[in-house]
Amino acid sequence: MNKTVNINLGGMFFHIDEDAYQKLTRYFDAIKRSLSNSTGQDEIIKDIEMRIAEIISEKHTHDKQVINVREVDEIIAIMGQPEDYRIEDDGENKQESANFDYVRKSKKLYRDTDKGMIGGVSTGLGHYFGIDTVWIRIFFVLFVCISFGTGVVAYIVLWAVTPAAVTTAEKLEMTGEPVTISNIEKKVREEFDNVSEKLKSTDYNKAGARVKTGFERAMGNVGDVFSVIFKAFARVLGALIAIFAGMSLIGLVIGFFTLGSTSFVDMPMQNYIDALNYTDLPMWTIGLLGLFAIGIPFFFLFLLGLKLLVDNVKSIGTVAKLTLLAVWLISVGILATLGVKQATEVAFDGKVMHKQTLQLTPGDTLQIKFRYNDYYAKDIYHRHDFLFTQDEAGKDLIYSNEVAFHILKTDEVAPYLQIEKQAHGKSLAEAKKRAEKITYGYKFEGNQLILDNYLLTEISNKYRDQEVEIFLYLPKGTVFKTDDSVEEFDRSDDAFFNLHFSGNYKYRVDEDQVKCLDCPPEENDWDDVEGDMDTATDSVHTLILNEKGVLIRNDKKEVSREVKSVKINQDGITIKTE
């Protein structure tokens, strides 16, 4: 029958039989002897006790279990023999004994308050995942920006639920190092050395401060304040630069994959993107060049932000810098060449002209209207600068409503219609050839001129600003009438022909201007409404009433009438003339 002993180990109570207790006591005595000349002996012993207590707690599921000799042997096998882990004066570890076989434990998540800037959360996560703390901090900054403050709450929650690494054993577990006597002693001695260096530095600073004059100390304090302010400003500026550059890089990468995928995947906008690409290179190539030309400067801007935000950021190296610079110069050079090619593709205007005389019966009123094709549009007002479509036979076409209508005066006897088809190209010959391939229709029957409101061209001709200009030349005295559809396409000079939108009115071509024959007098802004001076009240400038009668004068003529009667009442002045 063995006796049991109650012990307090690392702040925890355990039941242990007498033989196991004696062996564990001898083990601790041996450790103390091996650490007799070590700095921080008490701290090391305390950490070892806590580590052993943790191992025992993991093995025992309830408090009534008794620790036996076999379990003590297992603990010693894990922790190692004291004589195997003595540290020499120069701080280097001796070779571990061959009989020690320890399997490294997995890392545990702790907050590293020693190296952390705020709560040690980022540093702890960096240890746990094996990632540089800088990237963890950048992630938190970006997360705060894009989550509208949710990242702050997440950081506070992690701060609250994650324990801080206080003891040496916890600090070793945080970095994934074995919690053995050797590592504990090494860690404690490193901490004592750091404290010693800080104390020495502090003593030196105090000694130096004592020999300073009061003025020097005051100036030093002011300098320290400005230094702190400058560093804080630099970090804020660095964070803003890093965030801006980082988000720009993300946008560029997304844009590249979106633009580049059009070369491999059929997308709704593929034809429109290709139509604006005059270089004949695949869009993924242009996108990649653009990514390098714009993204590389943003990458270096991102690195600059990191250097302002975090100390000791490692350089990417001279080779990497020179390589990126070369790639950037090559990309910019190629894009500049492509830009010149893009511009030259539309450098010249070409046009072809078709003229037709309109056999209009004298005295007839010319009726003008536009029509639409219900296969391509549902009404006359449905417009597109250019649209990729197919005709009834399934042929790929470019459809456009770039049609302009002009009314002009001619000295010829008969009216005539002039159709001009226009397009751009890298040479006059190519531009003219492309203009010839534009399809446009109209018809003239009786006294009706019906014009298409669209043009067509095959998709193989490529979109190069194809358009149609319609010029209707009318001799003096020609009367014509327009309907509502003309309003959408009329580009006439308003000083010569002002189209009135309030109705479908009749017009007559005069010497210098087209007159509206039945427009309301209040629409006479261009002095183009035909009418008698008695009714065209908007054109009256001066009215003189005397014993001779009434004189009405405007800019162009005077009218005199004898007065029959004058009546003045609440409605105004009424003058009756002969």
Q: What is the pLDDT of residues 336-392, one digit of tens each?
A: 888 888 888 888 999 999 999 999 988 899 999 999 998 888 888 888 888 888 888
Residue 326: which pLDDT band, with cuts at 50, 70 and 90?
very high
CA dist., res. 267 & res. 473, Å (int): 46
Least confident segment among 63-72, 148-157, 544-553? 544-553
Q: Find tokens 């020609």 and name the residue.
A: 478
CA dist., res. 187 & res. 214, Å (int): 41
Q: Which residues, listed in sequence order, are joined to residue 420 by a DSSP beta bridge?
A: 353, 469
Q: Can you give the pLDDT at residue 230?
A: 73
From the list 396, 395, 399, the residue with the least C-alpha distance to 386 is 399
Do residues 113 and 127 lie in contact, with contact meaning Cβ atoms separated by under 8 Å?
no
Rounded CA Rg of the chain = 47
- Higher pLDDT: 273 or 517? It is 517
* Residues comprising the chain, all counted: 578
Nearest 5°: phi and psi at 47?
-65, -40
Residue 13: which pLDDT band, with cuts at 50, 70 and 90?
confident
Q: Which residues, listed in sequence order, are joined to residue 399 by a DSSP beta bridge?
A: 387, 456
Residue 211: which pLDDT band, with cuts at 50, 70 and 90?
very low
CA dist., res. 537 & res. 423, Å (int): 48
- Following CA atoms 112, 113, 118, 121 in sequence, which dihedral angle do they give, to the nearest 10 degrees? 20
Helices 181-210, 168-175: crossing angle, 10 deg rounding: 110
Q: Can you give the pLDDT at residue 102?
A: 41
CA dist., res. 229 & res. 216, Å (int): 20
Q: 267 is written with which tokens?
A: 């997308």
From the list 337, 331, 259, the residue with the least C-alpha distance to 289 is 331
- The DSSP code for 578 is -
Residue 446 CB neighbours (<10 A): 11
Please write the tens of the pLDDT for every residue from 263-305.
555 555 666 666 677 777 777 888 888 889 999 999 988 888 8
Answer yes or no: is pLDDT of 491 > 90. Answer: yes
Alpha carbon distances (Å) from 42 to 37, 375, 479: 12, 93, 115
Residue 118: which pLDDT band, with cuts at 50, 70 and 90?
confident
Q: 203 is written with which tokens?
A: 């003593």
- The DSSP code for 104 is P
Do residues 350 and 423 lie in contact, with contact meaning Cβ atoms separated by under 8 Å?
yes
Helices 150-161, 133-146: crossing angle, 10 deg rounding: 130
Residue 124 CB neighbours (<10 A): 28
Average pLDDT, the chain: 78
Q: Quick one: what percent of the chain has pLDDT higher than 70?
A: 70
Least confident segment among 484-493, 532-541, 563-572? 532-541
Please write the tens of the pLDDT for every residue from 119-132.
788 888 888 888 88
pLDDT mean over 251-273:
68
From the list 400, 375, 410, 507, the residue with the least C-alpha distance to 458 is 400
Least confident segment among 227-241, 249-263, 560-574? 560-574
Do residues 368 and 481 lie in contact, with contact meaning Cβ atoms separated by under 8 Å?
yes
- Following CA atoms 111, 114, 115, 117 in sequence, which dihedral angle do they give, to the nearest 10 degrees? 80
pLDDT mean over 563-569:
67
From the list 378, 418, 381, 419, the residue with the least C-alpha distance to 401 is 381
Least confident segment among 12-16, 213-217, 324-328? 213-217
Do residues 466 and 433 lie in contact, with contact meaning Cβ atoms separated by under 8 Å?
no
DSSP string across 480-547: EEE-GGGGGTB---TTT----TTS--EEEE-SSSEEESS--GGG-TTS-B---TTT-GGG--EEEEET
Amino acid type, 185:
E
CA dist., res. 362 & res. 565, Å (int): 45
Residue 540: which pLDDT band, with cuts at 50, 70 and 90?
very low
